[in-house]
Structure 1
Amino acid sequence: MYTPPQFRVEDLGEIHRMMRATRLCSLVTFGAEGLQATSLPLILDSEEGERGTLYGHLARANPQWRSDIQGEALAIFTGPSAYITPAWYAAKAETGKVVPTWNYTAVHAYGTVEFFAEPEPLLAVVSRLTELHESMREQPWAVSDAPDSFVAAKLKGIVGLRLQITRLEGKAKMSQDKATEDRQRIAEGLGESGDAEDLAVADRIPR
């Protein structure tokens, strides 16, 4: 990922926070059929391995897991993003020499991916994913709420994945290369938006 120094995120804890804030990511691999990608939620286990380990699952019918994957797999976590209009820059009125840009956050996690189909570890992954995304509900649903025979049948339709992270790249492009006045105007402009992503970006712009 192209990352100029001013946009680079190097703190492991912050990178992990960015990853956990992403509800859906993309798993990209290269094999005999060329590049393949799947959108899916992943769990980050930050205690496993030096940089953490990712867990998730794919549909058994998905050909990606059956490919002869070559080299590293890549999990892409894309955070909040927002269009930045030139109208918010002081130079717009002074010289007109401004162009639009885009603010965003992203994490690229690389590593060797492994797939597994054993019922016990599969159930553990599915249960952890469910607990993670149900935790904020007033009456959270649990995998154990469904009949055991039904769950067992569903597990046969998926395969689990484990990706131990060997390399991490974090990026937060939040107008750090702009003057303080411009950053303030950008944050105020985005803050007037009703869009949740615009508001999230506004909160991250350094003042």
Structure 2
Amino acid sequence: MSRIIFATGNEGKMREIREILKDLNMDILSMKEAGIELDIVEDGSSFEENALIKAKAIAQTDVCRAHGDIVLADDSGLEVDYLNLEPGIYSARYMGEDTSYRIKNQNIIQRLDGVPEDKRTARFVCAIGAVFPDGRVITTRGTIEGIIGWEERGSNGFGYDPIFYLPEYGCSTAELPMDVKNKLSHRGNALRALKEKMCREHLM
């Protein structure tokens, strides 16, 4: 059976990926499950470039070449319009890689102090890069639009979820039930777009 290797060790992310791609009838493994260990420098200038840097590096490993694996990788982040799209591709490294998200979130809230709701617009962005055994490469992008809240709320998410507020749902993405979050999420949207593209172009 063909395999998909996804460039993550995050179990929560893997659950979401497996749920969305389950009807492809392929084994879907994390890097760790495939026995791949790589330290990859993500120095691209866009989410798409960073996703492909990871996917291409993993596709070149002996493990993936031997199995003829499809390799997927994602890069995601938060764009705040009022802050000129910060933190953007630097979302994970914003204010330093070891800085807690509580500190990062408070910093963003403070920088938007006094800014009215209509100017607090923001989005989560996820780009997925896919590298196929025959060398073909595709990318897809998914987003979810919202605003930056005035305080951290919820414990169902991670990272910037507690400050990312969805006015139509009256809550932050960290307050959404997981099944609802997966249907709305930027990663879910990018994965569904990828699945459609793979089926349409017979890339499986």
Q: Which of the five TM-score ranges fits, normalised by the shorter chain? A: under 0.3
Which has the greater radius of gyration? Answer: 1
The structure that is helix-richer by fraction is 2
**Higher relative contact order by CA 8 Å / sep ≥ 6: 1 or 2?**
1
The structure that is strand-richer by fraction is 1
TM-score, normalised by the number of residues in structure 2: 0.26
